[in-house]
Amino acid sequence: MNERDSEALACLLEQAGYTEVADEAEADVMIFNTCSVRDQAERKAIGKIGFMKKLKSHRPDMVVGVVGCMAQNHGAELLTELPVVDFVAGTDQLHRVPEIVDGIRRERGRVVADELDREIRPELDAHRYGGVCAQVAVMRGCDQFCSYCIVPHTRGREKSRPIPAIVDEVRRLVDNGTREILLLGQNITAYGVAEARRAGVYKPAEFSALAELLTELNGIDGLARIRFTSPHVHFMNDTFIKAIAELPKVCKCFHVPLQSGSDRMLKLMRRSYTSAEYLECIRKIKAAIPEVNFTTDIIVGFSTETQEDFEMTRQVMREVVYDMAYIFRYSPREGTKSAAEYPDDVPEEVKHERNQILLSDLEAGAAERNARFRGRLQEVLVEGVSKRNPERWTGRTDLNKVVNFMPSPDVHVGDLVNVRITRTTANSLFGELCQQNG
């Protein structure tokens, strides 16, 4: 979401007459888009922002701003702690950044803009066109309040954009060459839920505005693929699963955050599902769709997590078989329920050790998981020259596997091509081009 916000903000600044420079030493305006989800992210940002002191001492007219979750989380405090900062603009104030920067360049002074908004500003649909893949934010905020998570505090209540606005945005992208879109929402399966609740039409067992949105997008000519992230098990009903199974352009990839396989941990985390409910949801997906790529998020070392709890996580991970997982060590965030009420009592070494164990579990199966593609024909969306080997081209399959192949003059960036897989490693697939699909 931050990547997407940074892109939209860059566009807004370009519309206001600014241009991007390659070297930060030449910039008149420097804006840090920050994340608060773990302490490490905040510390990294503070370190980097502090570094600007030297640059600014040579160029006193430079404007330095902090936007995003840290700006929302700490607001005016950041101005006190970081004298180099001229303005902070929170998660719902990005659209005001060009005006704030102009004001500071005219009259100096320092600005704090951290009000949360009930609406998503339409200006934020701006894109830097030209890429094969683009991100589209369909909703913002989160109402889940998982006990460890700062996001509901920094990004505010859930709000979804209307389907026609999203369809318009995707059409514009496709008109400008985009072939694949990644739909974004902190809890994307809650797309439209807050609005439906307010209208009194929310029926949890069958409501899925996301299924409706995906159906609309699936009908856009020229669009080849649709991805989405991140769903939440609690909202993944049959309507949603059926839509994914039936819509040909929707990739069969599910990033389903598990967080923990222990019911005691899940309860403390306020995740609103048990490990059995999670596994039941995965079972339904597997039954509805022949081949699926599952990925997940895991927190190790959450408050009071025992070796037994941890082993339960490993057990669920073995049952699901994930292609990839993001593993995080628990980091208490001030303002959250867990930081206030539960001890951070798992020693750092144990968190680290559990992290390593899960990473090696995943690595152990990676080569084997990719080997199943050997000899098979895969449809690949061509992304262009490989960064590792300029002689090769790369693209990705529906299941998000990177495929390397030798180019041919009639294959272009953005094409869907058939590639016969000849060799696989733990990280990627290699193959030969077959006839083109168009």
Q: Indicate whether 333 belongs to the interface with ligand 5AD (CB under 6 A).
A: yes
Of residues 45, 78, 137, 146, which one binds ligand SF4 by CB under 6 A? Answer: 146
Residues binding ligand 5AD: number (CB under 6 A): 12
342 binds, among ligand SF4, ligand 5AD, none (CB under 5 to 8 A by kind): none
If DSSP states are collapsed to H, E and C, what string results for the chain?
Answer: CHHHHHHHHHHHHHHCCCCCCCCHHHCCEEEEEECCCCHHHHHHHHHHHHCHHHHHHHCCCCEEEEEEHHHHHHCCHHHHHCCCCCEEECCCCHHHHHHHHHHHHHHCCCEEECCCCCCCCHHHHCCCCCCCEEEEECEECCCCCCCCCCHHHHHCCCEECCHHHHHHHHHHHHHCCCCEEEEECCCHHHCCHHHHHHCCCCCCCCCCHHHHHHHHHHCCCCCCEEEEECCCHHHCCHHHHHHHHHCCCECCEEECCCECCCHHHHHHCCCCCCHHHHHHHHHHHHHHCCCCEEEEEEEECCCCCCHHHHHHHHHHHHHHCCCEEEEEECCCCCCCHHHHHCCCCCCHHHHHHHHHHHHHHHHHHHHHHHHCCCCCEEEEEEEEECCCCCCCEEEEECCCCEEEECCCCCCCCCCEEEEEEEEECCCCEEEEEEEECC
Taking the complex as a whole, the smallest distance from the CB of residue 229 to ligand SF4 amounts, in Å, to 11
**Binding partner selected for residue 38 from ligand SF4, ligand 5AD, none, CB under the kind-specific 5 to 8 Å limit:** ligand 5AD
Stretch near ligand 5AD under the rule CB under 6 A, chosen from 46-54, 216-224, 326-334, 404-412: 326-334
Tell me: does residue 285 bind ligand 5AD (CB under 6 A): no
Position 329 contacts ligand SF4 (CB under 6 A): no
Q: Is 36 one of the binding residues for ligand 5AD (CB under 6 A)? A: no
Interface with ligand 5AD, residue 416, by CB under 6 A: no
Residue 232 binds: one of ligand SF4, ligand 5AD, none (C-beta under 5 to 8 A by kind): ligand SF4
**Residue 144 binds ligand SF4, judged by CB under 6 A:** yes
- 149 near ligand 5AD, judged by CB under 6 A: yes
User: Between vectors from CA 145 to CA 262 and to CA 235, what angle results, nearest 5°?
Assistant: 70
Contacts of ligand 5AD in 39-98 (CB under 6 A):
none
131 binds ligand 5AD (CB under 6 A): no
Q: How far is 229 from 188, CA to CA, in rounded Å?
A: 6
Q: Which is nearer to ligand SF4, 334 or 363 (CB)?
A: 334
**Cα–Cα distance measured from residue 109 to residue 128, given in angstroms and rounded to the nearest whole number:** 31
Query: With binding defined as CB under 6 A, does residue 147 bind ligand 5AD?
Result: no
| Minimum gap (Å) between residue 264 Cβ and ligand SF4 | 18
Asked if 350 interacts with ligand 5AD (CB under 6 A), we say no
The answer to whether 330 contacts ligand 5AD (rule: CB under 6 A) is: yes
Residue 297 binds to ligand 5AD (criterion: CB under 6 A): yes
Contacts of 264 (CB under 8 A, 6+ apart): 309
**Is 255 a binder of ligand SF4 (CB under 6 A)?**
no
Asked if residues 312 and 335 have their Cβ atoms less than 8 Å apart, the reply is no
Q: Which partner from the list ligand 5AD, ligand SF4, none does 186 bind, CB cut-off 5 to 8 Å by kind?
A: ligand SF4
37 contributes a contact to ligand 5AD by CB under 6 A: yes
Q: Select 42 or 125, whichever has its Cβ closest to ligand 5AD.
A: 42
Q: Which stretch binds ligand SF4 (CB under 6 A): 2-10, 145-153, 238-246, 322-330?
A: 145-153
Shortest Å, Cβ 121 to ligand SF4: 20
- CB closer to ligand 5AD, 10 vs 37: 37
- Binding to ligand SF4 by CB under 6 A, coded x per residue (else -) over 203-232, reads -----------------------------x
Angle between helices 275-288 and 307-320 (to 10 degrees): 10
For residues 394 and 45, give the distance between their C-alpha atoms in angstroms, rounded to a whole number. Answer: 33
Using CB under 6 A as the binding rule, whether residue 342 contacts ligand 5AD is answered as: no
Residues of this chain that interact with ligand SF4 (CB under 6 A) are 142, 144-146, 149, 151-152, 186-187, 232
| Chain residues that interact with ligand 5AD, rule: CB under 6 A | 37-38, 148-149, 257, 259, 297, 299, 328, 330-331, 333
